[in-house]
């Protein structure tokens, strides 16, 4: 072994010969490759060097931290309006669901269908079959009912009598009992009504609220009438400052607009937000 | 060369000997290492394989896209209150700067110092040297002046006469001319005053606003008194609904709180937000 060692290491000729064997060619190539890698650009160094694992670990660590921070940021700042306003969404009331005016048989059938799915129903009255509608629904369910009279009662005494009758039938609120022009009559009704009276047609925007404070118990705020979230919020603020109650209503809307309207619903007494449930082409469902 | 080749490849004894040279030991180790790398886990493969560059490039691309999206998100949702409220910050009024009560020489000197830096001054009156203070300041500058009477005038006729005199001296508004208990006297002053009268000590929170609507022209909202941004905004909403004017004031505060108060200042008539300018230990400067 000593001899072999000395042969390789000390004899120039022997060295030369060994270098020129195929095996030695491989050695040279490997050495060349290692040198190449060592002298190539920083990225290649990273790929092959021992420090790469550490570097990428640190990088991955930063990415995770950054991602976590972004998520926190997102949760904090991509705030829905109810959070900006500081409301508790657990206090959102159940929406009413509208039972359309129809023949008693159809009304009975419809009421049966939705009685299990909703906690409160809504019925539009103000016609000559008001009592029939209510009796029909009451033959099927005892759910609380909200009434939208749609300015339909023309006489204040008739309206008040109807409200007393409705109170006996488990109705919980009345919207717009008389035409919006008859504000004094409505004030007269509200003063004596056993049920809260809400303004619907009487109200559009923030500027209308003050004039209604002595005529109605509350107001029905609809985004599509009041121009949007900011004004809606001001209307809620103003109504509450006047000691009025607030309900939120809707038009025929997709769940996009309903979702917007629901943002201030934790503060309302009644939510009439079934617009998206009454259409078949809700793109935001 | 042929002989050497055959020596290495064909002679078992010669091979054995070569294997046992230090150089051959190195060859074996290199081979072993390559094998190790090839058979080790996927991460090591990534580090050494040709696809690593591509993979990391794609990863980096995603990180950049993610970062860009986060930035857009951040810009969009890390919204200051004035943006949430939909206000135009260009409409922010200049803050008043308070000239403290002192000897005429000191007041004259102080006024000279700050007359170039501010567009409106503030002076606290309600003592027996009120006219002297104003005359002293007017000997130096014609800047508009806001007055805080600090409940200091005890008689309503005296207060009204002072206000008329002040109006002639280029004063633009009066805060709290009389004690908060004397709401009727204040209402009497406001009715006849040529200058707007703002409530300061008379007001703390949202619930106080309604009672002041017939006694004052406007209210001075201070965050430290009204509990914060949301209630301040409700107070602005309510005051405006009552046709009242709004000013924003402050306590001795850092620029952190002043910045918060300035958020609704685009809607105010007067901003008295010099609290941070009167302290030397503003950590948020």
Structure tokens at A192: 């004596």
Cβ distance B86 to A53 less than 8 Å, yes or no, reads no
Distances A168 to A138, A161, A172, B228, B273 between C-alpha atoms, Å: 11, 11, 10, 45, 58
DSSP one-letter code for A248? E
Cβ distance A74 to B73 less than 8 Å, yes or no, reads yes
pLDDT tier for residue B61 given thresholds of 50, 70 and 90: confident
Closest CB from A17, A48, A79 relative to B48: A48
Residues of A in Cβ contact (< 8 Å) with B5: 21-22
A78 vs B: CB within 8 A:
yes
Q: Which residues are registered as beta bridge partners of B201?
A: none
pLDDT in tens, chain A (285 residues): 444 444 444 444 444 444 444 555 555 555 555 555 555 555 555 555 556 666 766 777 777 677 666 665 555 556 889 988 999 999 999 999 999 889 999 999 999 999 999 999 999 999 999 999 999 999 999 999 999 999 999 999 999 999 999 999 999 999 999 999 999 999 999 999 999 999 999 999 999 999 999 999 999 999 999 999 999 999 999 999 999 999 999 999 999 999 999 999 999 999 999 999 989 999 888
Residues of B in Cβ contact (< 8 Å) with A1: 17, 20
Structure confidence by residue, pLDDT tens digits, B237-255: 999 999 999 999 999 999 9
pLDDT at B57 over 90: no
Cβ distance A52 to B53 less than 8 Å, yes or no, reads no
Mean predicted confidence (pLDDT) in B74-82: 70
Q: Distance (Å, rounded) from C-alpha B57 to C-alpha B52?
A: 8
Q: Distance (Å, rounded) from C-alpha B94 to C-alpha B96?
A: 7
pLDDT tier for residue B6 given thresholds of 50, 70 and 90: very low
Kindly give, in sequence order, each residue whose CB lies less than 8 Å from that of residue B222, ignoring residues fewer than 6 positions away: B248, B249, B250, B251, B261
Residues of B in Cβ contact (< 8 Å) with A206: 241
Q: Distance (Å, rounded) from C-alpha B1 to C-alpha A18?
A: 9
Mean predicted confidence (pLDDT) in B1-20: 44
Q: Distance (Å, rounded) from C-alpha B190 to C-alpha B177?
A: 10
Torsion of CA B23, B29, B30, B34, to 10 degrees: 160
B229 vs A: CB within 8 A:
no
Q: What is the pLDDT of residue B194?
A: 98
Q: What is the ipTM of this complex?
A: 0.70
**Best residue in B238, B239, B266 for a mutation probing chain A (most A CBs within 10 Å):** B238
| Selected residues 57-76 of chain B with any CB under 8 Å from a CB in chain A | 63, 66-67, 70, 73-74
Q: Distance (Å, rounded) from C-alpha B277 to C-alpha B285?
A: 10
Q: How far is B238 from chain A (nearest CA, A)?
A: 6
Q: What is the pLDDT of residue B138?
A: 96
Q: How far is A58 from chain B (nearest CA, A)?
A: 14
Mean pLDDT of chain B, nearest integer:
84
Q: Distance (Å, rounded) from C-alpha B235 to C-alpha B212?
A: 12
CB A194 within 8 A of CB A168: no
B243 vs A: CB within 8 A:
no
CA B197 to chain CA centroid, nearest Å: 28
Q: What is the pLDDT of residue B283?
A: 87
Q: What is the pTM of this model?
A: 0.73
Residues of A in Cβ contact (< 8 Å) with B47: 47-48, 52-53
Percent of chain B with pLDDT over 70: 76
* Chain B residue with the nearest C-alpha to that of A49: B47
Cβ distance A241 to B230 less than 8 Å, yes or no, reads no
């Amino acid at each position: 072994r000593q001899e072999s060692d000395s042969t390789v290491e000390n004899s120039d000729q022997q060295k030369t010969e060994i270098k020129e064997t195929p095996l030695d060619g491989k050695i040279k190539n490997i050495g060349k490759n290692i040198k190449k890698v060592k002298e190539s650009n920083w990225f290649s160094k990273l790929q092959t060097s021992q420090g790469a694992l550490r570097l990428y670990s640190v990088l991955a660590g930063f990415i995770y931290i950054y991602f976590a921070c972004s998520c926190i940021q997102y949760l904090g700042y991509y705030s829905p309006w109810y959070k900006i306003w500081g409301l508790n969404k657990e206090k959102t009331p159940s929406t009413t669901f509208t039972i359309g005016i129809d023949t008693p048989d159809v009304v009975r059938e419809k009421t049966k269908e939705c009685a299990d799915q909703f906690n409160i129903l809504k019925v539009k009255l103000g016609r000559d079959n008001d009592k029939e509608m209510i009796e029909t629904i009451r033959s099927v369910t005892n759910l609380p009912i909200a009434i939208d009279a749609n300015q339909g009662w023309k006489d204040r005494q008739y309206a008040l009598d109807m409200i007393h009758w409705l109170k006996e039938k488990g109705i919980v609120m009345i919207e717009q009992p008389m035409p919006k022009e008859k504000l004094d009559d409505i004030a007269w009704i509200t003063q004596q009504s056993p049920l809260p009276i809400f303004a619907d047609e009487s109200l559009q925007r923030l500027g209308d609220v003050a004039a209604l404070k002595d005529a109605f118990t509350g107001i029905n705020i609809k985004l599509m009438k009041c121009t949007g979230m900011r004004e809606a919020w001001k209307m809620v603020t103003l109504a509450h400052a006047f000691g009025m109650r607030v309900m939120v209503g809707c038009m025929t809307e997709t769940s996009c607009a309903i979702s917007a309207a629901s943002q201030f619903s934790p503060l309302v007494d009644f939510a009439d937000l079934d617009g998206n449930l009454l259409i078949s082409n809700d793109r935001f469902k």
